[in-house]
Structure 1
Amino acid sequence: MKAVYYFYITILLICLHQTALAQQPSLQGRVINQDKEPIVFASVHFEELKSTISTDNEGRFSIKLPAKPQDLHIRVSAVGMRTRLLLIKKQDLAKPVFITMEGLSYTLEEINVRPLYESTLNSNSSIVFDEEAIEKIQAFSLMDILNTIPGKATTAPTIDAPQTITLRGIQGGAYDLNNSLGVPIIMDGIYLSNDANMQARAFSQWGMSSAALGGANGTPGGDVPFTGIDLREIPVETIEKVEIIQGVASAKYGELTDGAILIDRKAAKTPYSFVTNINGGSSNFSVSKGFDLKKRLGALNLGINYAISNPDPKDRIKQFDRWNTSLMWTVSPVKNIKNTLSIDYGFRNDEMKFDPDDADQQTSLTKNTNFRISNRLNIDFEDKFVDQANFSISYSKGSQHSYKQWLLNQLPRGYAYKDTTGIYEGVVLSGRYIAEEEILGKPITGSVNLNLSSKIETGEILHFISYGFSGNYSNNGGQGIIADPDKPRWINQNGQNARPYSFQYLDPLINYGFFFSDSFNLSLGNRKLISNLGLRLDQQNGSWSLQPRLSTTLRWNSNLNFNAAFGISTKSPTMVHRYPPPTFLDIPLILAYNSEDALYLVYTEKFLADNSHLKPSKSSQFEVGARYQTKTFSTTLNAFFKSNKDGFHTVQSYRKITVPEYTYQFDESLREITYQSTGKTIDYYNYGGYKMGNHLNSNSYGVDWMLNINKIKAIESSFNMSTSFIVSEENNKSFDVVNLIQPIKINSESIWYLAYPPKSNNKKLNMLSKFGSTTHIPKLGFVIMANFDLFWYNMTKSKYGTKIQQAVGYFGSDMNLLPFPEDLDQIPVRDVTLNNSNQPFIYGCLNLSVAKEIKKKFRIAVTAYNVLNIQPEHIEYSSSNSEIFTVNKYNSPLSITGGISFKF
């Protein structure tokens, strides 16, 4: 930590020296509000200069101009203010610029309550939510915002189950885990990492998709190992801006494969704000305030959020609680230097309480706390060598507790508990006891980022160079998996039993990377080509990966733009992927008991897992698009192709194990069960476990089309539409091991195990349209929004049809994979009928929202989801028995969210 401290001080001293250098010609400006007061820390973005700076304590800003300046497009945004877009002609650049901003209000002539589809410095195909659009959603968590983007169904807010995001990819199972893992949440430039989360049972016993503890009585558990963070932990009331990168991200961002979510929080003077939203048994309360500390002490922002949810308020058995507190101190001690210190504390409790009517006495809980401190230093040099520098450092420490109990009532069972290979006498359990599962974790993460930017002129071309370094640290000092041999929940599950496994002595994961990018503009006659060429080099789990990121936009004219991008990105394995518990195969030799004695003789074979071979998962994405914009409407069309390779997944494997054969009898004189070896051995082939590997591969391609019709004054309404069409194909190169019901004969040997192509190799197609209208009456401060989701098609189909006709090979007596002999008559086919499913009809869901503002201080909003309460049904009959059927319902029932917000 001392080295980081000295490095930070050195950077600060260099910055102070550079800012003292002589200033070059620059554009000067000032940002004020309607009362002529300066707006401190407003964000001023210069599109042609690829630069974003902040106003100082007097609302002033200054930026160096190139030798041959051109017209400048400027975007000015500030907390609680309507964003301003300006065009400054090159002949006016020598004049000071004065910008007046209006406070956000429904009484303004123009408001923005819909997401914007923009080409930003971070991506060609970003979706941006500003402060006004975020407030209108009445979100309980970040997930409710993300559910409004193209391709996502708009649903009523819920925080009763874990929420993770997936973008542009195949859905289901391990694919969801990998996709979400590859979508980092970056808040105020700091990665919110889940890489130290190890709240999972041994995946050698359970597989990756089932390793997390479930909740009691079939409810979802609260843990999210192997994936991205739980979005329920992120309230939205203190968020100023959300940018969703679905396509190719800038080379600045590492540790991603499927996009990124960028969050900027409010960091300026703001009024007291109280917000509450209620939906059914869920309630959300938030209080925030931004203080102006005066005398160059900057602004202090405080926020407190509390959420509680009971799916069934009548019994309150299932309950979710969330506390979040945040402090941000933003200060500009001298001109062109801005520093932000952030301290966050969060608590989450997802609990299933004891139900007196439950004979199994099931309970479960997932309790997490997290403390995070981070600091960001931003400097505008206006120097020849470095224009801007951003340095950030973050440290986070948490505590995680997962617990589940179940009253078991069964026959006496034998339980193996030793952690060494050999034959021993295990424990014979009575069969009736309170079984427990428990995992204790203490995740620790840290990050450091240094980003520099410079401007270089080569002839007529101005280059905007960005370069930097990033590093991430992950560790876990928790007690780990707690396994009490007197209270085991699962006995001989997949031939294994749980053992204690400590996280305290595991090596930390350290990943780091470097990036370089060059943005430049070329004039092609009357047209302009804006390009960004980037390269990233990451070291992840001992592997180096080179990741080019290229994007370009062709401005055909003032209305029409074309864009294209290509990028390769990678995500490292996390600690739970990298450090699995050992595998213990427990083979019962004798289980005997009577009223006087009990004996469980067991053979245990221990295998140490080494996942150092895991490579980072990898994504290659290409996208093209076009945008046409007029004063009346705008439309955007994006098409993409994405190839994901080396995703993390577990596959089943089996071993041949040979053990001695024993006989036993009850010795009347000793009054105990005795045993002895027969001298013979027994071969077992059905013992094994799941192994982690880079097995998942898929290709996804699709089109997003968005259309926005600007406000029609005669009816005070605007309209929008989006359609998302995605096709995903699994292309896994591994195989499934299938245990046959009846063996087949190969070379006079009975074969029980065949290797087939993965049953999960499916093709999926999804098409969803979203239609919306916004009616805004400024004089009344009144807004009505209607949204209609139209579900055209959702299909899952096996690439093999209904049968896998050809197996890959078979497993011989040594359990090695062998090819089939050429003279083999017949190989059993594999039925994959259940992998095929189709949405039976087209259906839709209408949502309606109404909001009223009173005196610019008080807002009342009501949103009804599935306002017509339409829930179409489809009955699926069993192929083997026409009397067995399943009723599938589409759309959730009518749900209403009511909320108020008050600012003073």
Structure 2
Amino acid sequence: MKKLKMWLPFVTLLFMLAGTLTLQAQRKQGVTLEGYVYEMDEDQKFPVPYASVSIASLSIAVTTDENGHYVINNLPARNLQVTARFLGLEEQTQEVDLSKQQVLDFVLLVSNFRLEEIVVTAESNKAGAATASKINKTAMEHMQLTSLADVMSLLPGAATVKSDLTSVTTASIRGGSSLGTAILMDGAPISNNANMQIMSSAIGGSTPSTSGTTPSIGVDLRTITTDNIESIEVIRGVPSVEYGDITAGAIIVNSKTGRQPLTIKFNTNPNLYQGTATHGVNLGKNAGSLNYSGDYSYSVSDPREGYDYYRRVTARIGYSNTIGKWYTNTSVSFLSALDKAEPNPDDEQDVTIKRQNDLGIRANTKGTFTFNRNFFKSLEYNVQFAYTDRDSYFYDEATNATVAYSLSKQDGAVLSSIQGNKIYDVNGNLVTNVPAGEESFIAWTLPSQYQYDYTVDGRELNTFAKVKANFAGDLGATHHRMVIGADFKSDGNVGEGKIFDPLNPPYRSVSYSDATQRERSYKDIPFVNQFGLYAEENFDWEFANRHLQISAGIRYDHVLNFGGGLSPRVNASIDILPEALTLNAAF
């Protein structure tokens, strides 16, 4: 409560500024911008229906009609950067002075696969002054990337390696932990919080790892194919308060939407075979568009060892449409991934089998209501549900495993190696002590060598919902953009957990003389439910040929039954010497 009171003046100031800007907006806004979006094909221009035209600084986006025409009302009479984009065409941004010009046309070129060089831009992102690297689909297609893991190699300072899907790869930005790097697909986070695949159920000792991703790392980037990705933005600085559960940066992935020619691609190298297909069609006037894609990938670490491999099958279908002031985008994605390691048939001593099979489905719907009324610009929402069935299997031979072992899970229990048998000492005193409910349990000495296996059954449920209001306006010579929003996230696992034969338990360190395996169903572990509130002000002022940007916000996250905390974030930049020296600071 004290923390909330401490930040109450900031929130109050934010709303007072919003009221002031609303009055200013009512007096100063009212300019209308219109124009056409064309596609250039063999020296001829054709109108592009249903293209997106947006002004990021004002959080405004509209869609062209069937004739490629767009209209944006109620704009300030000043310089603005306007962007037009359409799937399969090169994005174009133009600056327009609305005090002198109210008509702006765009001519988009077809994306060219033959790039002379790959340019990864580092620039201020639309959320503030955080440094971000942007990678578009043309660069990804040129490099023949197979997963989001390969995309990360395009970042500054990263090494480019041959595509290989046989080992788990996670994201790390600025050397930070992969657990603190958020990955957002179509505005919603991809969560690994409900993953418990190697959660040790032993009282003491070691538990062998299964194949695939684990709870101690972040999201496995191999599972995210690049065939249906339109663009990627990697925020390497301090991100906006809009993004929660984050400490080391964010990776924002935008999927393809809208019309697209049928594209079929094959990619191969000594370690990988991959085939992808993507296609998008318009369903007719005012009926929206459908975009769908599929991917099959097979990868081996060594072509001579085909018994260790990774196989991935993905599919996605998305529907998008603009109905009046409402833009909606709904998609369903499917994933099947098998990470398998079999024994070497030429090595009789190798009996280890490791396997993880993931089956997942993710449904996402997001949309924007563009009001553009004075200071209030738009309202965005995003809802996502994901289910992943992870089935891990491990088989091996335990050696040097001789140790006393008991099925009892209670302190002080003394069991016999024969079920129900009572043991007495030389004085006739009862030695065995069988707790109630464990009458069928035994204790014995494990052999020095035996074979064992176990299965880890995980069924992850992840739910996310967010709503965000965007405001923008001018106050004198300064420009302001504000964001106020809330989100909710729930992560849990309803799997059966570790399953094994109690008479052939998983191996554990013999240094734990009184240890046993304890089964625990994951469904007995409560879900983690998290609620967040955030507010942010983006300040922009140009003076004396210099540019000052300040993005300041605060976020409050509350984990139910655990408590909450505040997270203030600030990004600032100012031109010391125009176009020569800029000072940046972040907190």
Q: TM-score range by the shorter chain?
A: 0.7 to 0.9
Which letter maps to 1:372? R
Q: How many residues align?
A: 524
User: Quick check: 84-93 or 344-353, which moved more?
Assistant: 84-93
The match for 2:190 is: 192
Mapped to 2, the partners of 1:557 and 1:87 lie a distance apart of: 23
**Residue 164 of structure 1: SS of its match in structure 2?**
coil
User: Partners in 2 of 1:411 and 1:162 — Cα distance?
Assistant: 30
Residue by residue, what CA displacement relative to the aligned partner does 1:688-743 show, whole Å, maximum 9, x if unpaired?
A: xxxxxxxxxxxxxxxxxxxxxxxxxxxxxxxxxxxxxxxxxxxxxxxxxxxxxxxx
Q: CA deviation at 1:413?
A: 4.1
User: Counterparts of 2:581 and 2:538 in 1: how far apart (Å)?
Assistant: 17
2:124 aligned with 1:104, yes or no? no
Q: Corresponding residue for 1:213?
A: 209
**How many angstroms apart in 2 are the aligned matches of 1:549 and 1:408?**
51
Seen in structure 2, the aligned counterparts of structure 1 residues 411 and 151 have a Cα distance that, compared at 3 Å, is closer
Q: Which residue of 2 aligns with 1:779?
A: none
Q: In structure 2, what is the equivalent of residue 223 of structure 1?
A: 213
Q: How does 1:242-261 map to 2 (within 5 A)?
A: 242-261=232-251
> Using the alignment, how far apart are the partners of 1:44 and 1:124 within structure 2?
24
Whether the 8 Å CA contact 1:47–1:72 is kept in 2: the answer is no
- Counterpart Cα distance in 2 of 1:402 and 1:255: 27
The alpha carbon displacement at 1:75 in A equals 2.9
8 Å contact from structure 2 (residues 458, 496) kept in 1 = yes
2: CA distance, partners of 1:205 / 1:154: 43
Residue 447, structure 1, aligned to residue 461, structure 2 = no
In the alignment, the residues of structure 2 paired with residue 113 and residue 231 of structure 1 have an alpha-carbon distance, to the nearest angstrom, of 22
Q: CA deviation at 1:427?
A: 3.1
Equivalent residues in 2 for 1:166-177, closer than 5 Å: 166-169=172-175
Cα deviation, 1:339-379, whole Å, max 9, x if unaligned, reads: 01110010110011243333342211011111111100111
Is contact 2:546-2:578 (8 Å) kept? no
Match of 1:487 among 501, 504, 511: 504
Tell me how far 1:431 sits from its aligned partner: 4.3
Say if 1:121 and 1:228 are closer, same or farther in 2 by CA, change over 3 A: same
Distance 1:206 1:191, change over 3 A: farther
Contact (CA 8 Å) 1:324, 1:345: kept in 2 or not? Answer: yes
Structure 1 counterpart of 2:334: 345
What amino acid maps onto 1:192 in structure 2?
I
Cα RMSD for the two superposed structures: 2.5
User: What residue identity is the alignment partner of 2:53?
Assistant: V
Looking at structure 2, the residues matched to 467 and 59 of structure 1 have their Cα atoms a distance apart, in angstroms, of: 33
The question of whether the paired residues in 2 share the 8 Å contact of 1:393 and 1:449 is answered with yes
The equivalent position to 1:144 in structure 2, one of 134, 141, 150, is: 150
SS at match of 1:167: coil
Q: CA offset at residue 66 of structure 1?
A: 4.5
AA paired with 1:506? I
Amino acid at match of 1:199: Q
Residue 430 of structure 1 deviates from its aligned partner by 4.1
Structure-2 residue corresponding to 1:821: none
Pairwise CA distance, 1:391: 0.5
1:514 aligned to which of 533, 556, 574: 533
Q: 2:457 & 2:348 partners in 1: Cα distance? A: 26
CA separation in 1, counterparts of 2:283 and 2:162?
40
Contact 1:348–1:369 at 8 Å: present in 2 too? yes
Q: Which has the higher strand share?
A: 1
User: Relative contact order, CA 8 A, sep 6+: which one is greater?
Assistant: 2
Alignment check: 8 A CA contact 1:372 1:397 kept? yes
State the distance in 2 between where 1:132 and 1:124 align: 24
Structure 1 residue matching 2:414: 3-state secondary structure: strand
2:200 paired residue number? 202
Q: 1:55 to 1:317 in 2, by over 3 A?
A: same
Shift of 1:535: 1.4
1:33: how far off? 0.9
| Amino acid in structure 2 at the alignment position of 1:465 | M
Q: For 1:435, which of 428, 431, 452 is the aligned residue?
A: 452
SS at match of 2:582: strand
How far off is 1:205 after superposition? 6.1
Once residues 252 and 87 of structure 2 are traced to their aligned partners in structure 1, the CA distance between those partners, rounded to angstroms, is 17
Q: For 1:528, which of 539, 547, 566 is the aligned residue?
A: 547
- Aligned to 1:375, which of 365, 368, 379? 365
Change (3 A) 1:493 1:368: farther
SS in 2 for 1:197: coil
Alignment CA distance shift 1:378-1:48 (3 Å) = closer
The corresponding residue for 2:88 is 80
Q: The residue matched to 2:139 in structure 1 has which SS?
A: helix
From the superposition, tell whether residues 211 and 154 of structure 1 become closer, same or farther in structure 2 (CA, over 3 Å).
Answer: farther
Pair member with larger Rg = 1
Contact 2:354 2:394 in 1 (8 A): yes
Contact 2:279–2:291 (Cα < 8 Å) also in 1: yes
Extract unaligned runs of 5+ from structure 1: 1-22, 171-178, 215-220, 568-904
Distance 1:482 1:166, change over 3 A: same
Paired letter, 1:449:
K
The residue number in structure 1 matching 2:71 is 62
CA–CA distance in structure 1, aligned partners of residues 581 and 259 of structure 2:
37
Distance 2:506 2:350 in 1: 12
Matches within 5 A, 1:879-894: none
Alignment of 1:618-767 (within 5 A): none
SS at match of 1:161: coil
* Counterpart position of 1:16: none
Seq. identity, %: 23
| Aligned position for 1:127 | 133
Cα distance, 1:206–1:93 mapped onto 2, change above 3 Å: farther
Counterpart Cα distance in 1 of 2:249 and 2:109:
33
What is the CA distance between 1:461 and its match in structure 2?
Answer: 3.1
| Contact in 2 for aligned 1:212/1:224 (Cα 8 Å) | no
Using the alignment, how far apart are the partners of 2:254 and 2:371 within structure 1? 23
**What is the CA-CA distance between 1:36 and the residue it aligns to?**
3.9
Closer, same or farther in 2 for the Cα pair 1:48/1:476, shift >3 Å? closer
1:233 is displaced (CA, Å) by: 0.1
Match of 2:169 in 1: 163
Match of 2:311 among 321, 338, 344: 321
CA drift at 1:59: 3.2
8 Å CA contact 1:143–1:232 kept in 2: the answer is: yes
Counterpart in 2 of 1:654? none
Which residue among 445, 456, 461 is the counterpart of 2:478?
461
Which residue among 155, 159, 164 is the counterpart of 1:153? 159
Taking structure 2 as the reference length, the TM-score comes to: 0.83
Q: Distance in 2 between matches of 1:37 and 1:111?
A: 27
- Provide the C-alpha distance between the structure 2 equivalents of 1:89 and 1:212, rounded to a whole number of angstroms: 64
Instruction: Kindly indicate whether the alpha-carbon contact (under 8 Å) linking 1:205 and 1:493 is maintained by their aligned counterparts in 2.
Output: no
Whether the aligned pair in 2 keeps the contact of 1:212 and 1:223 (CA below 8 Å) is no
2:88–2:260 contact (8 Å) kept in structure 1: yes
Q: Deviations over 1:34-87 (max 9, x none)?
A: 2544434534343553545444554333334445x2122223332211222312
For the 8 Å contact 1:482–1:499, the answer to whether it is kept is: no
Distance 2:227 2:108 in 1: 22
